[in-house]
Amino acid sequence: MTSNDRAVLTVRSTADLLAAVPYLLGFHPADSLVVMALRGNRVVFVARGDLPEVTGPAAADEIGEAAAQVAAIVARQRVEITTVVGYGEPARVTPTVDAVTAALGRAGLPVLEALRVTGDRYWSYVCDEAGCCPPDGRPFDCSTSQLAAAATFAGQVALPDRDALARRLAPVDGPARDELRKAAGRAELRLSALLAEGRPDHPQGRRALRRAGRAAVREATDRYRNGGQLTDDEVAWLCLLMVHLPVRDDAWQATGGEEWHLALWTDVLRRAEPELVPAPATLLGFAAWRAGQGALASVAVERALAAQPDYSFAQLLAEALQAGIGPSVLDGWPDADLDFDSDSNSDSCPET
């Protein structure tokens, strides 16, 4: 099963809906606002953001601005109804849920249900009937839900929190890192030999780099498509070549949303030398975005921008995530004529 071919999970109750959220995001949310948007009876879009930290007079304005942004993003998805869930203490959740619910209404998007989850209980902002929604909330346990069992059986994962997702991309360390540094040194010598007869800015040097880059990208994609893995020397060589944008762009055009693409760029990112992180991190973000894994895409893009804040490919992908732009804009890729190297600025990267 690829990441674009996930199991269909049937939601029969509010508890099932709450059990589904971690599998839709890839992790269990905390201090978060989640909006699920439906077309017919199918969830087609999920957005998550941190609850605002501010309190006092400035809080209302900040919450209102954030709510309007969320509503605008959801409205662009051409959906029919929404469900809003806030995770955390009521003092922070309630004003945010109220603001987002109102903003969605102004955007013409009905809110089917609005919930608060605090600990192991949930409350509805929509239902006030004590028989089904008592004042002290209703208990639920995601781990015992049949939906959670079905998702796990289908191979879907819900990590404990967002930090756990980031840790999956952590750099390799210890003795393995020592070997990777040696491989990076050998790659530098290999590059010097390749360019012995032409600098990178001369036609001969550019042609030599492009040929070597295409060969390295082809080998990497063939290897992971068939369940293999690159050696340290191959990772070091690929990362070094991708500093040159034509090689990076060849890798970009070869990247889709299949599971092996995620495996390829996760592995390369974890083994890349720190100064060579931006390209594989952004390629992983791009693969995750194409796969509909917004949280993973955001974490990967954050890694790229932490390493190089002005890396324009990562900036543009961050903007796409921020705006809730779906991968359907690349239908027909790689024939799509998109420029991911123009100058742009971006702020945070909320999961979508």
**pTM across the whole model:** 0.82
User: Minimal CA–CA distance to 9: which of 39, 38, 42, 50?
Assistant: 42
Closest CA to 101 of 117, 80, 115: 115
The list of the chain residues with pLDDT below 70 reads 1-11, 54-56, 149-155, 197-202, 328-352
pLDDT of residue 61: 86
CA distance 332 to 133: 48
In angstroms, the Cα distances linking 175 to 117, 172, 179, 200, 333 are: 43, 9, 6, 33, 40
Which tokens belong to 87?
């995770």
The two three-digit tokens of residue 240, written as one number: 């070094």
DSSP state of 52: P
Look at residue 141 in the predicted model and tell me its pLDDT: 85
Structure confidence by residue, pLDDT tens digits, 174-227 = 999 999 999 999 999 999 999 876 566 667 778 889 999 999 999 999 999 999
| Residue 301 CB-half CA count within 13 A | 29
- On whether the 14-160 domain is CATH 3.40.140, my answer is yes
Domain boundaries, the chain: 14-160, 168-330
Backbone phi, psi, residue 333, to 5°:
-55, 140
- pLDDT for 103: 97
HSE of 331, CA atoms in CB hemisphere, 13 A = 4
**Of 43, 39, 106, whose CA–CA distance to 71 is shortest?**
106
| Coil/strand/helix, residue 310 | coil
Three-class DSSP category at 77: coil
pLDDT score of 280: 98
The pLDDT assigned to 304 comes to 98
pLDDT at 155: 66
Q: Are 147 and 153 spatial neighbours (Cβ–Cβ below 8 Å)?
A: no
Calpha distance 206→198 (Å, rounded): 8
User: How high is the pLDDT of residue 116?
Assistant: 97
